């Protein structure tokens, strides 16, 4: 007998109940319901996808391993979790979320319309006001149209706008989770630079970074570095080339939350570090993000200057010169800069919690890396 099933290769998958217990999600549900009451919303439908899961994970704690998942929350009932993975996934999925009501849909390919519509009708009947979050970006076009057609009542409200203010300001346990991801990212960058300084080729050093991140509990790891010149690339082929310089950036996801770190083998007074320092001193509540972009020069803008980070690696607001957005107190911002210095790409970053008067580092980066006596560059 031959069986087939879809597999997405990822790292550690576990619900950390000590870090994010059930009462954390109970409080989030309470806050969302208060927002629903203010806006006259009777039910919220949040759709998440493996690549973009924030609106779903904020309420469920679960990151979809493959394709979409949905959560339905009534103002006075629910929530329920809808999965497209079929009934065979329920035993494992029940260990990854605090929600007891889990309903399988027929298939990832058919979309969540039928099961979601039934849950909504059970919670609010046929005349309620429904808000959709994450649906347009996380469903295929046909599945999105089917969901709109299946939902009762008038055109759905904007659930993303409803959740945005709550997701922007990080709760205390969210800050702890993000600090853990940030520490993993820093450790991965440090491990890569240590390996490179011990003689490893650039490609091997980047693989060392990914290995370190996964060993420390990261589920998703994204590493870019200098492999052939003063620009960033992913590792696609292992090479023995060792450049005179290594620069890299590493983003990791742990328990749903993202952390990011950058580093290079050059001076701590690099152009990239000066650019990040220039932005850092401007971070505080109410400051237009465009001011940060205006404060730097000579950086490679193609890589971006960073922005808010949390359940998404790329949250709003993003730092760019044309932005009309401002920082809010309690948000977490990951700043970054990449600048060519001679024939080397310098890389620097800083992650800050936005305060009323200044930005406070989420975690302190390790400025002085201890040199190991020996590094086995074959570990990767």
Reported as a pLDDT band with limits 50, 70 and 90, residue 152 is confident
Mean pLDDT lowest among 44-48, 149-153, 372-376: 372-376
Gyration radius of the chain's alpha carbons: 22
Cβ-based neighbours of 126, under 8 Å, separated by 6 or more: 152, 153
Mean pLDDT lowest among 32-46, 186-200, 364-378: 364-378
Average pLDDT over residues 202-220: 96
289-306 b/e with 16+ CB inside 10 Å = b?
bbbbbebbeebbeebbbb
Of the candidate CATH numbers 3.40.50.1110, 3.50.50.60, 3.20.20.140, 3.40.350.10, the domain formed by 22-168 belongs to: 3.40.350.10
Contact in structure between 267 and 274 (CB atoms under 8 Å): no
State the Cα–Cα distance between residues 258 and 178, nearest whole angstrom: 6
Mean pLDDT lowest among 43-52, 153-162, 250-259: 153-162
Contact in structure between 197 and 203 (CB atoms under 8 Å): no
State the Cα–Cα distance between residues 177 and 13, nearest whole angstrom: 15
Q: Which tens digits make up the pLDDT trace of 84-120?
A: 877 777 888 899 999 999 999 877 678 899 999 999 9
State the Cα–Cα distance between residues 322 and 334, nearest whole angstrom: 18
User: Is the confidence at residue 217, as pLDDT, over 70?
Assistant: yes
- For domain 172-379, the CATH class is alpha beta
Q: Which tens digits make up the pLDDT trace of 272-306?
A: 999 999 999 999 999 999 999 999 988 989 899 99
Domain boundaries along the sequence of the chain: 22-168, 172-379
- Whole-number pLDDT of residue 107: 74
Q: Which tens digits make up the pLDDT trace of 339-378?
A: 999 999 999 999 999 999 999 999 864 333 333 333 333 3
Reported as a pLDDT band with limits 50, 70 and 90, residue 10 is low
CA distances from 210 to 183, 218, 232, 251 (A): 14, 9, 15, 10
Q: What mean pLDDT value characterizes the chain?
A: 90
């Amino acid at each position: 007998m031959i069986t087939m099933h879809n597999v997405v290769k990822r790292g550690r998958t576990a619900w950390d109940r000590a870090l994010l217990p059930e009462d954390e999600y109970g409080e989030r549900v309470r806050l969302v319901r208060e927002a629903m009451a203010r806006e006259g919303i009777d039910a919220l439908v949040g759709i998440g996808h493996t690549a973009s899961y924030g609106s779903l994970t904020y309420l469920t704690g679960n990151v979809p391993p493959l394709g979409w998942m949905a959560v339905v929350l009534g103002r006075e009932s629910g929530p329920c979790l809808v999965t497209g993975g079929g009934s065979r996934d329920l035993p494992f999925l029940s260990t990854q979320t605090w929600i007891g009501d889990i309903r399988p849909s027929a298939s990832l390919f058919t979309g969540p319309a039928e099961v979601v519509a039934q849950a909504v009708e059970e919670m609010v009947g046929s005349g309620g006001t429904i808000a959709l979050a994450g649906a347009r970006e996380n469903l295929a076009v046909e599945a999105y149209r089917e969901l709109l057609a299946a939902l009762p009542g008038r055109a759905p409200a904007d659930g993303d706008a409803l959740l945005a203010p709550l997701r922007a300001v990080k709760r205390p346990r969210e800050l702890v989770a993000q600090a853990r991801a940030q520490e993993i990212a820093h450790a991965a960058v440090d491990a890569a630079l240590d390996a490179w300084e011990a003689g490893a080729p650039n490609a091997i050093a980047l693989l060392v970074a990914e290995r370190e991140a996964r060993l420390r509990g990261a589920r998703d790891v994204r590493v870019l570095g200098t492999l052939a010149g003063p620009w960033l690339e992913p590792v696609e082929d292992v090479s023995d080339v060792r450049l005179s310089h290594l620069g890299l950036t590493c983003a990791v996801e742990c328990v749903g939350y993202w952390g990011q770190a950058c580093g290079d083998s050059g001076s701590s007074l690099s152009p990239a570090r000066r650019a990040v320092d220039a932005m850092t001193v401007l971070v505080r509540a109410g400051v237009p993000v465009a001011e940060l972009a205006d404060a730097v020069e000579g950086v490679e803008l193609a890589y971006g200057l960073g922005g808010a980070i949390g359940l998404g690696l790329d949250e709003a607001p993003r730092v760019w010169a044309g932005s009309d957005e401002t920082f809010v107190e309690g948000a977490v911002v990951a700043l970054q800069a990449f600048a060519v210095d001679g024939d080397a790409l310098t890389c620097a970053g800083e992650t800050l919690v936005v305060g009323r008067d200044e930005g406070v580092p989420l975690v302190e980066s390790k400025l002085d890396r201890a040199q190991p006596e020996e590094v086995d560059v074959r570990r990767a």
